[in-house]
């Protein structure tokens, strides 16, 4: 599906999936951001709706944010029709599906995996790195071996239909073997942030990354401070889009630090987007979206280009929210 088509469908979906606003007046007044009391979970893109639903099952019973975000994004990893999260994701240039993920809790404990192959739930491996090792990040073969040792089953990838697409892409993109292009259709990473009823924040991020990337490429999603950052004293942020641009400004950390300095979540996301724009001479097709949630339940998002949306779930219901953006395509 082409990017524009996707965005159109995404917008149509917005109207349909709008159930009960968190606080009706507030959302309409603020347009794209707001504040809720009590637990809240937000996550990137439309697939965040299903992911939030599972995260909410944990939050609504007084469960911990860290368990909610892990459970939530596993939903997207489970969805084999998703081409940029989990084992159903697009492979790298050479046909390997390599997965990136990270997780962070209210105590600033964190875990990450990158370039992980043949494991269905990278987010849970990242959690195991956090819970059971003195390290923060494991990559490649080491990460896979760790996962197998901890009982995660080995699964096959790429899927048959993904392999077929890759073979076609290979035929049509011989030049990509010299210089890979940005895959404009690949924007489905899930980043999720949650605030639980104890007032604690956590976040998770998981992706198969840039479709047909160079072998060995790792994006922002498993990098604490880039794809995700949580500071329980302030707030949490996550990113989606072109990871290289996010890494250049330590994106999610930047958003949290801006909130520390008093910006609202939406203002902080916008300022991080402005910084990306200032540092790129060529913004063609460079989509990045940030999502932020502060410790008081204020939330917001902002993207470089039109089309970024996020799922919001509170005790008042669930909805898909269109983020503000800097420019149209
Ligand atoms: C990456 N940030 O690997 C990820 C891709 C993504 O929406 O978020 N797409 O660069």
Residue 207 Cβ inside 6 Å of ligand 1? The answer reads yes
Catalytic residue among 44, 76, 98, 189: 189
Residue 240 Cβ inside 6 Å of ligand 1? The answer reads yes
Least confident window among 111-125, 156-170, 233-247:
156-170
DSSP H or E segment with residue 115:
strand 110-116
Amino acid 17: pLDDT: 30
Residue 287 Cβ inside 6 Å of ligand 1? The answer reads no
Task: Tell me, in angstroms, the distance from the centre of ligand 1 to residue 221's CA.
Answer: 6
Q: Using 50, 70 and 90 to split pLDDT, how confident is the model at 85?
A: very high
The residue whose CA has the least distance to atom 6 of ligand 1 is: 241
Domain 3-327 falls under CATH 3.60.20.30: yes
| Cβ pair 54, 75 in contact under 8 A | yes
Higher-confidence residue of 186 and 233: namely 233
Higher-confidence residue of 305 and 31: namely 305
| Cβ pair 110, 128 in contact under 8 A | no
d(CA 120, CA 74): 9
Residue 210 Cβ inside 6 Å of ligand 1? The answer reads yes
Per-residue model confidence as pLDDT tens digits over 182-209: 444 445 799 999 999 999 999 999 999 9
| Alpha-carbon torsion, ordered 298, 243, 164, 167, to 10 deg | 170
d(CA 25, CA 31): 10
Amino acid 187: pLDDT: 57
| Cβ pair 105, 114 in contact under 8 A | no
Amino acid 21: pLDDT: 36
HSE of 111, CA atoms in CB hemisphere, 13 A: 18
- Please identify, by atom number, the ligand 1 atom nearest to the C-alpha of residue 287: 7
Sequence-ordered alpha helix ranges (H) in 234-306? 243-248, 251-260, 265-278
∠ CA 12-320-262, rounded to 5°: 135
Q: Using 50, 70 and 90 to split pLDDT, how confident is the model at 19?
A: very low
Per-residue model confidence as pLDDT tens digits over 40-79: 999 999 999 999 999 999 999 999 999 999 999 999 999 9
DSSP 3-state helix, strand, coil percentages of the chain (rounded to 5)? 35, 25, 40
d(CA 65, CA 235): 13
Higher-confidence residue of 6 and 297: namely 297
What average pLDDT does the structure give for the chain? 88
Q: Using 50, 70 and 90 to split pLDDT, how confident is the model at 15?
A: very low
Task: Tell me, in angstroms, the distance from the centre of ligand 1 to residue 9's CA.
Answer: 20
Which residues, 6+ apart, have CB-to-CB distance to 210 below 8 Å? 182, 183, 186, 217, 219, 242, 243
DSSP H or E segment with residue 238:
strand 235-241
Per-residue model confidence as pLDDT tens digits over 249-299: 999 999 999 999 999 999 999 999 999 999 999 999 999 999 999 999 999
Out of 6-20, 30-44, 127-141, the most confident range is 127-141
Amino acid 181: pLDDT: 52
Residue 76 Cβ inside 6 Å of ligand 1? The answer reads no
d(CA 238, CA 137): 17
Q: Using 50, 70 and 90 to split pLDDT, how confident is the model at 1?
A: very low
Sequence-ordered alpha helix ranges (H) in 178-264? 243-248, 251-260
- Please identify, by atom number, the ligand 1 atom nearest to the C-alpha of residue 188: 7
Domain residue ranges in the chain: 3-327
Task: Tell me, in angstroms, the distance from the centre of ligand 1 to residue 62's CA.
Answer: 31
First-to-last C-alpha distance (Å) of the chain: 16
The verdict on whether 284 is a catalytic residue reads no
The residue whose CA has the least distance to atom 3 of ligand 1 is: 209
Residue 222 Cβ inside 6 Å of ligand 1? The answer reads no
Ligand 1 pocket, mutate which of 220, 228, 239, 289 (most atoms under 8 A from CB): 220
């Amino acid at each position: 599906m082409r990017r524009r088509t996707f965005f159109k469908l995404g917008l149509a979906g917005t109207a349909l999936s709008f159930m009960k606003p968190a606080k009706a007046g507030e959302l309409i007044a603020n347009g794209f951001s707001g504040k809720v009391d009590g637990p809240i979970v937000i996550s990137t893109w439309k697939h965040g709706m299903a992911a939030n639903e599972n995260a909410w099952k944990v939050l609504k019973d007084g469960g911990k944010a860290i368990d909610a975000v892990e459970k939530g994004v596993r939903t997207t990893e489970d969805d084999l029709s998703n081409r940029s999260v989990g084992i159903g994701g697009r492979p790298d240039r050479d046909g390997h599906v390599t997965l990136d993920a990270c997780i962070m809790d209210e105590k600033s404990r964190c875990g990450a995996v990158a370039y992980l192959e043949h494991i269905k739930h990278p987010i849970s491996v990242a959690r195991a790195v956090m819970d059971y090792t003195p390290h923060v990040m494991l990559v490649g073969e080491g990460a896979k071996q760790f996962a197998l040792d901890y009982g995660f089953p080995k699964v096959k990838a790429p899927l048959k239909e993904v392999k077929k697409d890759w073979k076609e892409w290979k035929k049509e993109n011989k030049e990509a073997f010299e210089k890979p292009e940005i895959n404009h259709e690949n924007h489905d990473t899930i980043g999720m942030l949650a605030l639980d009823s104890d007032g604690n924040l956590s976040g998770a991020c998981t992706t198969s990354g840039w479709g047909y990337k160079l072998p060995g490429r790792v994006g922002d999603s498993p990098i604490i401070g880039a794809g995700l950052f949580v500071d329980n004293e302030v707030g949490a942020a996550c990113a989606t889009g072109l990871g290289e641009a996010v890494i250049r400004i330590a994106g999610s950390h930047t958003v949290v630090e801006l909130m520390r300095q008093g910006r609202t979540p939406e203002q902080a996301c916008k300022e991080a987007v402005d910084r990306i724009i200032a540092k790129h001479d060529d913004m063609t097709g460079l989509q990045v979206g940030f999502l932020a949630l502060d410790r008081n339940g204020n939330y917001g998002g902002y993207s470089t280009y039109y089309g970024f949306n996020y799922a919001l779930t509170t005790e008042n219901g669930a909805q898909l929210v269109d983020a503000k953006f800097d420019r149209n395509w």
